Amino acid sequence: MTLITITDGPTFTLRNAHLAYAMRVNARGVLEHLCFGPSLAEAPPPLSLPLRHCTVMLKDHETLSLNDLPQEYATAGQGDFSAPALHLGARDNSVLGLRYKSHALLLDKPPADSLPTARGNASQTLCVTLQDAVQQIEVDLFYTIWNDHGVIARRSVIRNVGSRPVSLRQVASTALDLSPGEYSVQHFHGSWAREFNEERLSLPTGRFTIESTRGTSSNAHMPYLALIEADATEVTGRCYGMTLIYSGNYSISVERGEFGRIRLLAGLNDFDFDWTLEPGEDFVTPEALHGFSPDGLGGLSHVWHDFIRAKITPERFRDTSRPTYLNTWEAAYFDVSEQSVLQLADEAADLGVEMLVLDDGWFKGRTDDRRALGDWIADPERFPSGIPALAQHVRDRGLKFGIWLEPEMVSPDSSLYRAHPDWAISAPGRDPSRGRHQLTLDLSKVEVVDHIHAWLDALLASAPIDYVKWDMNRNMTDLGSGARAHRYMLGLYRLLGRLTQDHPDVIFETCASGGNRFDLGMLSYMPQGWISDMCDPVGRLDIINGASHLFPPDVMAAYIGPSPNHQNGRISSLSARYMAGLPCAAHGISLGLADIARSRPQLQQFMGQSGKSAADRLGSRFDRLRKTAQETIWQQTSRDCQTVYLIAFQVLNAPNLPIRQVRLRGLEPMATYILQDGRSYKGNQLMHYGLPLDQPTEDFSAELLILKKVS
């Protein structure tokens, strides 16, 4: 299948059944953007730009103003006054004028050095090289399109072809200029235990930016922004989404200029960023992804879910059901021992879960969060047999074994810090700031990465460990520069690449105080993530609903926590706590022995149901049917389309409520679907007239309806 066509000019058109993206080299050598949106038979003609009063024109082109012209990778200093994609350090001249040099068509997708990227296969890539002869800079713009996905991947490589160093101050992965239109901006903000809150606002004249300077992609702003038609719904309207395959400091912005042109930029955060590019060196940006759907926000989510499963999730686990588990954290916190863990393993086996996870507190001296990070040796008093023997004892009970780690951190009260204080990130002449009483190891240093790899590799090789919860419980400070923050991420990715290659059967789960680093960079190495420490069902509804705009259920984990909830004190039923995490691929329990004893039959029922339906959550279609302050309704349809799960929540009950009915989506119109109580419906009935729901009888109620397709 020909995905990229090149015609005279040259004009470049990337096209599949889902979208079209086109650009051309104009008479001045500027790479001009033509379109991004629904699939077209051929590229549209360039815009007819007006001649404006007091507008700066390019020499010898008195009708060409860069301030009006939609461009592929804009720079500053020659009449374009919007935010640039590339900006050099000032020295005596920061003006850039990138012009077309050459292009190459690649039959698949080349990897990026040191950075995670989406996989190729059934794809084609265009590389367009631009140059500035004065600054002696070349820029390779990579564009990848796939046969079956409504996504374009973009990244940039900046190359110094001159004889003196160049200072990079702002380097975008992608820049996209869109024609004027009435749009809203959708983004997701939050904090610890209340991540992924959706916010929509009308696109203003000016610039709107989401970003992180925290050393992580952050829970303050999910690294994702969507531009949606002002009247778009879940099922109608054009929607453009943009995200990064990156886990550190980033910036994503949308800007509407004075004449209505819209510019989207995404890449490394330019705050405090200064990267010296020596002669002959190049700089590779993180990969950015542009998704498009004409079918509303639900359609755009389906585009992202399919793409992430196919091109981001590690292939080894893409079709592997996640084990149910019992985690020791809320059962004991730091007060764990060999005896108590084995007692919980017995409980896990009785409950029918498949894995026991040993959380924080197992290593030498770790009695609270003030000490011992960095000294990853089992505490000899509490775990005299060691981790390998403990893991084997758990395995002997018919369970898998998992363990919690926080490899990037160090406690000042630790043998590692006393031996290597210079391995912790700090600014010269200053005492480093602390978060959760701990410091961050400097992964920009090769020796630090090698040390972490050595002990982790030895641990995973010494014991039958099936799962690792990889935590990170503080934001970064004292970095000194944005360049150091980026070098940290390169070190982290190098470490994760080595470990996941050497231990391909271990399920790694990303966690950072919940969703503080839940992004496509981490999910390129780890098949699942802990999206929030909020286990209260009401709090988790908003979190899962928001995260689902980008992330498929396949990459989410959830467990049943205690009631009253330890984050907000709310009392809720076991059923509500279970149902709130039901769409997630990984299900578990984190309860004390007394709570388990009180709820044993229900827990056995729920974990049995999770185990039986685990395969249905992989590759499933997820639809947000209704979301209000009091009501959340989700539909999850198995990949084989044979089972439909309808999950309905009522937050606060009220008397004399209206009749509750909801219309389903994506069913086969003439097929018959049977509920667990025997009622049957045709698909078109369910989609056009809806399914009646029971009236709630209490606060925080949850209802699960399962429909089986029979013909």
The whole-chain average pLDDT of the chain stands at 95
Stated as kind and residue range, the H or E segment containing 490 is helix 482-502
In a domain, 73, yes or no: yes
Question: Of 265, 285, 311, which marks where a domain is finished?
Answer: 311
Spatial separation of the C-alpha atoms in residues 45 and 96, rounded to whole Å: 27
Query: Domain count of the chain?
Result: 3
In a domain, 316, yes or no: no
- What's the CATH code of the domain at 221? 2.70.98.60
Question: Of 617, 640, 657, which marks where a domain is finished?
Answer: 617
In a domain, 317, yes or no: no
Asked whether residue 612 falls in the same domain as residue 678, the answer is no
The pLDDT value given to residue 80: 85
The structure tokens listed for 393 are 């004892």
Angle 482-502/446-462 helices, nearest 10 degrees?
Answer: 30
pLDDT band for 286, please (50, 70, 90 cuts): very high
What are the tens digits of pLDDT across the range 294-313? 999 999 999 999 999 999 99
Asked whether residue 659 falls in the same domain as residue 602, the answer is no
What are the tens digits of pLDDT across the range 530-556? 999 999 999 999 999 999 999 999 999
In a domain, 364, yes or no: yes
Spatial separation of the C-alpha atoms in residues 604 and 598, rounded to whole Å: 12
Asked whether residue 19 falls in the same domain as residue 81, the answer is yes
Average pLDDT over residues 491-513: 98
Q: Are 403 and 325 in contact (CB under 8 A)?
A: no
Spatial separation of the C-alpha atoms in residues 527 and 53, rounded to whole Å: 55
pLDDT band for 54, please (50, 70, 90 cuts): low
Percent of the chain whose pLDDT exceeds 90? 91
What are the tens digits of pLDDT across the range 199-246? 999 999 999 999 999 999 999 999 999 999 999 999 999 999 999 999
Average pLDDT over residues 615-637: 97
In a domain, 599, yes or no: yes
Active-site option among 442, 471, 536, 623 = 471
In a domain, 588, yes or no: yes
User: Structural domain of residue 287, as residue ranges?
Assistant: 4-311
Spatial separation of the C-alpha atoms in residues 24 and 10, rounded to whole Å: 6
Pick the closest to residue 193 from 471, 680, 633, 533 (CA basis): 533
Spatial separation of the C-alpha atoms in residues 620 and 634, rounded to whole Å: 12
Asked whether residue 186 falls in the same domain as residue 43, the answer is yes
Asked whether residue 435 falls in the same domain as residue 565, the answer is yes
Left, alpha or beta for 348 (phi > 0: left; psi -120 to 50: alpha)?
Answer: alpha
Asked whether residue 410 falls in the same domain as residue 295, the answer is no
Asked whether residue 113 falls in the same domain as residue 220, the answer is yes
Active site residue 231: no
In a domain, 681, yes or no: yes
Active-site option among 375, 379, 533, 595 = 533
Burial call 490-509: b when 16+ CB within 10 Å, e when fewer: bbbbbbbebbbeebeebbbb
The structure tokens listed for 581 are 């995490």
Asked whether residue 391 falls in the same domain as residue 281, the answer is no
Asked whether residue 564 falls in the same domain as residue 685, the answer is no
Active site residue 132: no
The structure tokens listed for 617 are 């959550």
Bond before 388 cis per omega within 30 degrees:
no
DSSP 434: -
Asked whether residue 254 falls in the same domain as residue 363, the answer is no
Neighbours of 94 (CB within 10 A): 16
Question: Of 285, 311, 337, which marks where a domain is finished?
Answer: 311
Pick the closest to residue 506 from 441, 543, 548, 459 (CA basis): 459
- What's the CATH code of the domain at 517? 3.20.20.70
Asked whether residue 50 falls in the same domain as residue 141, the answer is yes
In a domain, 693, yes or no: yes
Asked whether residue 225 falls in the same domain as residue 327, the answer is no
pTM score, two decimals? Answer: 0.97
Spatial separation of the C-alpha atoms in residues 229 and 72, rounded to whole Å: 22
